[in-house]
Amino acid sequence: MNAAIATDKAPASTALSQLDQLKKMTTMVADTGDFAALKQYAPQDATTNPSLIFKAAQMPEYRYLVDKAIAENKKSGAGGEKLLRSVMDDLLVLFGVEILKIVPGRVSTETDANLAFDTEGLINKARRFIELYRAHGIGRERILIKIATTWEGACAAEVLQREGINCNMTLLFSLAQAVACAEAKARLISPFVGRIMDWYKAKEKKDFAPAEDPGVLSVREIYGYYKKFGHATEIMGASFRNAGEILELAGCDLLTISPQLMGELKKSTAPVARKLSPELARDSKIERLQLDEKKFRWLFNENAMATEKTAEGIRLFNADALKLEQFVAAKL
């Protein structure tokens, strides 16, 4: 794992902000539904989730998107639960459409958390999102469908990727989950650095230096595995708690960062050293993992942190999705 860590030194001084230095070695992705923040920090891609969309939908400047989703779907004559479901899907896509007017790359749109264990449901939802984006003139190459990293989620991703629908596997906390995604040929994974650290901090009752952060170490392990065994799936570190975690993963394929932490990185001009590189990662002393469904479920079960944080994440995203539903329903 440690062999994946580069040792090249950063320049002695630089006029560039840490954010701009990171952009030279890692694709920067904004973790927000706030268009103003996207314009301010100029990321390549953007990610959303139910929590971020719920927060943004309540902001006065984005209320017009809620109104638009309701008005457009009422034209169909549908009512009740069917109307609500249609408005919810349309609202997520409308936010994505607006985001793609700002970022040059891709946007991630999340599937319903209550479909996390429903392979067929995930496939149908992804196809639905792609069709809605197509109706707005946006091709599938600019869309990433976010799916929770359950076994069922990996199976859905395998089908979708064969159809040319790219998937962003989220709520990922372990090597077993990462390997399942790579073997499904998912386009991208989002290991949750900060949530891993949260679990170990609570369990061991101590703080961790960025270089020893369990979440950072988890991403380094996955990075080493992917590069050593030639997996094309991209790795995007996510859910950061501090700038130190981000800097320890400089060189990762992508990093998705909140506007607050982007702001911190933009204010500092301290040198940034590259910590991950494909060349050194290929020498990682890590064994190939032979994985099938039984092996996956066993390894996942044996990892208390991954089991607990994945389940918790699904519950929390579902809770925020329900809040968004109630917000929309009140306007219907």
- CA–CA separation, 307 and 257 (whole Å): 24
Q: Coil, helix or strand for 21? A: helix
The label of the residue with tokens 């629908």 reads: 165
8 A C-beta contact, residue 229 and residue 288: yes
- CA–CA separation, 148 and 189 (whole Å): 10
Q: What is the DSSP letter of 61?
A: G
The full length of the chain comes to 332
8 A C-beta contact, residue 95 and residue 56: yes
Q: What is the DSSP letter of 7?
A: -
Which of these, 95, 124, 120, lies nearest to 108 by C-alpha position? 95
- CA–CA separation, 281 and 148 (whole Å): 26
Q: Which positions ≥6 away from 141 have C-beta within 8 Å?
A: 106, 166
Catalytic residue among 23, 125, 146, 227: 146
Q: Which positions ≥6 away from 196 have C-beta within 8 Å?
A: 173, 214, 215, 218, 305, 309
- CA–CA separation, 186 and 174 (whole Å): 16
Q: Which positions ≥6 away from 42 have C-beta within 8 Å?
A: none
Q: Is 206 a catalytic residue?
A: no
Active site residues: 146
